[in-house]
Structure 1
């Protein structure tokens, strides 16, 4: 069974987290059944950008990276204190541990910024939120990342980054394909109504 850690910092954007729960949930029940997603919060109860409250299955201090095959990081909003939580040292350490062990790391939108801050994207290709005058892409550049501004989804080695919430399903399906197979991913996509 492949296990996916869905990291939920306070202020996470709900839709960006939910695509991972849906895609991997569908795979567990209707796909090849080889994936299990585990929600991991920075605290015992986390609140999303739009006030959706979640009680995660685990808190970050309980995570043993050896028990997981991938890490997923949704983005979030500054007004909801996303960066305050996503830039915590325990979050950055967790990201580094997944990377050092060669595990897949998939982020959506500004979920790339804690990856950048952790140092794992330095000298590599990536992207992040692409609107609002490129402010977030400039932040990612400040971490030494080669930002590809015109590519909605960028994969460099084991790391996936993306532009904005509209790319969320693309990222989740790409990770499913990497953890299972293209054939299985296409089967799940079809069952979920994607062509």
Structure 2
């Protein structure tokens, strides 16, 4: 066992517990990234192999992650740009911030061979993809829906269109560009352009004069 596992057991005291935990977690995540960079497929990365390479016991990993799927999701989240802090100044600004994160994630996926390969492999593994969807994609979607609900409540958005469909109208074009069309441009200002164009069609329609 390496000094990493030894240092985890030798250090004592609750004040140091959290920083020590973060060091170990980071070392394990970095170990998985290193193995992936070496070309080891996700399917061949067992907890036992990860623990052996990181120099920790399997119990150390299981104390932090429920299994391989949860660990891989954290690895991908570490490689991706973080979810944005919403400005909260307006519904439009919040939507722009969300789409801008998607745009940057698309650029990063294109420039990172590792991230591109991991995303492709995740989709071929139902368990890992389900874990990623439940812990990353679905919370993002709920956040988007909540912004649109506030827009409807404040009178900024129409209420005669299904809110899930409305969300797809905003997010769909950026997802297509960022994730499905690797040859498509993702220029700065695209997020603002998309939000403004969709908002033009989703603002409440004024009643015609009698």
TM bracket, shorter-chain basis: under 0.3
Give the structure with higher Rg (CA).
2
More strand by share: 1
| Structure with a larger share of its residues in helix | 2
Return the TM-score normalized by structure 1: 0.27
